[in-house]
Structure 1
Amino acid sequence: MSPATTPALSVLDLVPVRADQSTGDAIDALRSLARVADEHGYRRYWLAEHHNMPSIASTNPPVLAAMVAAATERIRVGSGGVMLPNHAPLVVAEQFALLEAAFPGRVDLGIGRAPGTDQVTAWALRSGAAGVEADAVDRFPDHVDHVLAMMSPAGAALRLPGGDHVLRATPHATSVPTIWLLGSSDYSARLAASRGLPYVFAHHFSGRGTAEALALYRDGYQPSEEHPGPRTFLTVNVVVADTEAEAQRLVQPMVRSMVALRTGQPLLPQESVEEAEARGVAPAHRALADEMAGRWVVGDPASAAARVRDLATMFGVDEVMVSPVAGALAGTPAGRSPAREETLRLLAGALAA
């Protein structure tokens, strides 16, 4: 990618829930944010999968993706990602085949290998069956292959003693979603390369090992009919405001949430900006907070756009998926996330300038 090239922009949304919001309020804010992304030319809008977390409402990516697709006109919708060990492959294939039938050419299925939750909740997601989650993780490559096959128009043949039984995710598929593999280690990079699939490294979450994982993916890539060459992009947490000082204020609730996650503290609904400022970060955790936030894009429009271009050039990608993590000021309407919306507007405008 040329340094002068402006990368395309996309959105990753965890559907955060603030202390002043109900789940319904957070979903209203999601729809509003998705419309902003659609209006400002963002390429795709992905929903994460997390469970049993008071601060995150993205428990069901296909349901949320359907809401986003219905509320928008052109943006691609999908999962970032569906955590396949939590689900039967046929169920995932059916859900996304239906989405593709309803919104043809607009659907991505991003698949991850982690459970996206704690061990007890992962156990409950698998109906309490002992050892099922570990088996699903071990069989992840097979389950990815099953999803691919069952979403194809031909379906997947299950060989039984009496003959083959064909499983199809939908009665008459005329198109299929684009499948991406997601990961925060080199495991999915190698698997995506071996299957000829697009791949995304979770740079927004890990921030380390991105270059190494992408090099493994690109170097080991085996071309497929649908994807003759490797295809990837970058993910990053972003806060953009009119001034650097305001952006640094707005990022504080996310900083405190991530410190809590990394240090084993209770995960509570997201604080207001004023609450986060008043409580601050404990001195013992200051270095951790600075290290995490230092990998994010936080600043005024010009500096944020420059940073996004630099990251795209550094990792050789033509698309950057931003997770808008700006907090909300006290008194913000419950059904909106104005600072997250403004992050998308300001970044898109600065990159287009």
Structure 2
Amino acid sequence: MTTPATRLSVLDLVPVRTDQTSADALAATLSLARVADELGFERYWLAEHHNMPAVAATNPAVLVALVAGATRSIRVGSGGVMLPNHAPLVVAEQFALLEAAHPGRIDLGIGRAPGTDPVTAWALRHGAGGVTDEAVERFPEYVDNVVAMMDAAGVGLQLNGRVHELRATPSATSVPPIWLLGSSDYSAQLAARKGLPYVFAHHFAGKGTAEALDLYRREFQPSPEHAEPRTFLTVNVSAADTAEEAERLALPQLLAMLALRTGAPLTAQRLVEDAEAHEVPDQHRGLLEAMRSRWVIGDGAGVREQLARLASRYDVDEVMVHPVAGAHAGGDPGAGPGREQTLRLLVA
């Protein structure tokens, strides 16, 4: 089981391998969530990405419902809903219903990034016309709207000289906590100003973590819900019985991130054997090694020690791990044994 010193949580992008269909990827995610629940992990968050061959996490609210229904006690949430892609009322309604169905177990993590390419972002946000930049600029307002709409008392909407009552759900008895996600000073300052919990995407950015968390803590303004700053970070993790095997299992995800960073064609995640056969261009090897240096990869004991050092370095009592271990050829398409083994080794 996890120890009080460093609580552990899970971030899942619902990866899709070359041997998987979307249905297989979802089955693997539900299996991983059950393992996390069984092992006593704190929370299980689902990401939002669109039009990506290797990621099936397109709709956090749907995924949260599936995972919460398949588990018993772990907190389940979004990591996160990319708010500029959605009308605030829709997000508030979705998570108010999820909280009603699973009271005390739902988290709403909110982010500002598009989670996709510019063309898909346009189709997602304003397919019938409009300017996508406006949604990003109004992000702080949208955050306030979601918070207000989920309140049990609702919010008054002024329209045509009248005030109309607006509630995300008719009779709420609890509200899911809202977390602000980010990988920059902007998100840290916004979370501090609004008195919201904050999560730094260390797994994606890898740089500026200490500066962002220090800024958040320094500028935090207490809110009715949160008297003190509350924060943790995310990190890519691959654990196996040996450090060598952990490195092999991490390679497919490393190559996927390399393709994303270099503008190469995106594909479903390679199997380990296919990843090892792939030749990385000399000009990209430095970038690959730089990314690898920010990941936590090794045997169980080594990874547990690295995570404890990260928690101490950034002064957090919780770390959210993104299990990036891939799969070997010939395995069950509906399972992610490398990801499940990573979680088990973290609490051995």
Place the TM-score, normalised by the shorter chain, in its bin. Answer: over 0.9
2:126 touches 2:132 (CA, 8 Å); kept in 1? no
Query: What residue identity is the alignment partner of 1:287?
Result: G
The aligned residue for residue 185 of structure 1 is: 184
The aligned residue for residue 286 of structure 1 is: 285
Aligned-pair distance for 1:279?
1.1
Q: How many angstroms apart in 1 are the aligned matches of 2:143 and 2:155?
A: 12
The aligned residue for residue 153 of structure 2 is: 154
The aligned residue for residue 121 of structure 2 is: 122
The aligned residue for residue 42 of structure 1 is: 41
The reply to whether residue 276 of structure 1 matches residue 256 of structure 2 is no
The reply to whether residue 212 of structure 1 matches residue 211 of structure 2 is yes
The aligned residue for residue 133 of structure 1 is: 132
Aligned-pair distance for 1:160?
2.3
The reply to whether residue 308 of structure 1 matches residue 307 of structure 2 is yes
Q: Compute the RMSD of aligned alpha carbons.
A: 1.1
The aligned residue for residue 79 of structure 1 is: 78
2:77 touches 2:108 (CA, 8 Å); kept in 1? yes
Aligned-pair distance for 1:130?
4.1
The aligned residue for residue 168 of structure 1 is: 167
Aligned-pair distance for 1:6?
2.6
Q: How many angstroms apart in 2 are the aligned matches of 1:26 and 1:128?
A: 28
1:12 touches 1:45 (CA, 8 Å); kept in 2? yes
Aligned-pair distance for 1:131?
4.0
**1:64-75 equivalence runs, <5 A:** 64-75=63-74
Aligned-pair distance for 1:57?
0.1
| Segment of structure 1 superposing worse, 62-71 or 273-282 | 273-282
Q: How many angstroms apart in 2 are the aligned matches of 1:131 and 1:233?
A: 36
| Percent of paired sites with the same residue | 67
Aligned-pair distance for 1:317?
0.1
TM-score when normalising by structure 1: 0.96
SS of aligned partner of 1:126: helix
The aligned residue for residue 54 of structure 1 is: 53
The aligned residue for residue 233 of structure 1 is: 232
Query: What residue identity is the alignment partner of 1:86?
Result: N
| Segment of structure 1 superposing worse, 78-87 or 128-137 | 128-137
The reply to whether residue 197 of structure 1 matches residue 190 of structure 2 is no
Aligned-pair distance for 1:259?
0.6
SS of aligned partner of 1:267: coil
Cα deviation, 1:89-121, whole Å, max 9, x if unaligned, reads: 000000000000000000000000111001110
Aligned-pair distance for 1:138?
0.6
TM-score when normalising by structure 2: 0.98
- Gapped regions of structure 2 (runs ≥ 5): none
The reply to whether residue 259 of structure 1 matches residue 258 of structure 2 is yes
2:11 touches 2:45 (CA, 8 Å); kept in 1? yes
1:123 touches 1:129 (CA, 8 Å); kept in 2? no
Q: How many angstroms apart in 2 are the aligned matches of 1:107 and 1:263?
A: 36
Query: What residue identity is the alignment partner of 1:36?
Result: V
Query: What residue identity is the alignment partner of 2:288?
Result: A
1:15 touches 1:30 (CA, 8 Å); kept in 2? yes
| Segment of structure 1 superposing worse, 160-169 or 69-78 | 160-169
Q: How many angstroms apart in 2 are the aligned matches of 1:332 and 1:6?
A: 35
Q: How many angstroms apart in 1 are the aligned matches of 2:92 and 2:38?
A: 30
SS of aligned partner of 1:111: strand
Query: What residue identity is the alignment partner of 2:198?
Result: Y
Aligned-pair distance for 1:5?
6.9
Q: 1:292 to 1:341 in 2, by over 3 A?
A: same
Query: What residue identity is the alignment partner of 1:325?
Result: V
Cα deviation, 1:126-172, whole Å, max 9, x if unaligned, reads: 24244432111111111100000000001111112332111100000
Cα deviation, 1:255-288, whole Å, max 9, x if unaligned, reads: 1111101000011001100000111422211111
What is the total number of aligned residue pairs between the two structures? 346
Query: What residue identity is the alignment partner of 1:154?
Result: A
